[in-house]
């Protein structure tokens, strides 16, 4: 699954366009490398998102195309 879509489905970022912009600005890392929005994400990957003064680091646990809002947190775990 594409990185921008995973960030939206997992609700780490609310909108896919915002996820795309964050990737273009170099604020998203996958496995410690700056990632484009088109990078494929798989289980076990580590994603780091820099929100200016806050940084979030998560490990991908599951990849699903669609999921209920209540279950979105099951797709990743915080590191």
Residue 52, pLDDT score: 86
The answer on pLDDT for 43 being more than 90 is: yes
Does domain 3-78 fall under CATH 3.10.290.10? My reply is yes
User: Which pair of structure tokens corresponds to residue 8?
Assistant: 């939206």
Q: How far is CA 46 from CA 3, 58, 68, in A?
A: 11, 6, 22
13: Cβ contacts below 8 Å, ≥ 6 apart? 7, 19, 22, 49
pTM of the shown model: 0.93
Per-residue pLDDT tens over the stretch 62-79: 999 999 999 999 999 999
């Amino acid at each position: 699954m594409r990185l921008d879509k995973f960030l939206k489905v997992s609700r780490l970022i609310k909108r896919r366009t915002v996820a795309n912009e964050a990737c273009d600005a170099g604020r998203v890392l996958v496995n410690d490398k700056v990632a484009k929005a088109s990078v494929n994400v798989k289980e076990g990957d580590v994603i780091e998102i820099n929100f200016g003064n806050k940084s979030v680091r998560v490990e991908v646990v599951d990849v699903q195309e669609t999921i209920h809002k209540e279950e979105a947190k099951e797709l990743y775990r915080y590191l």
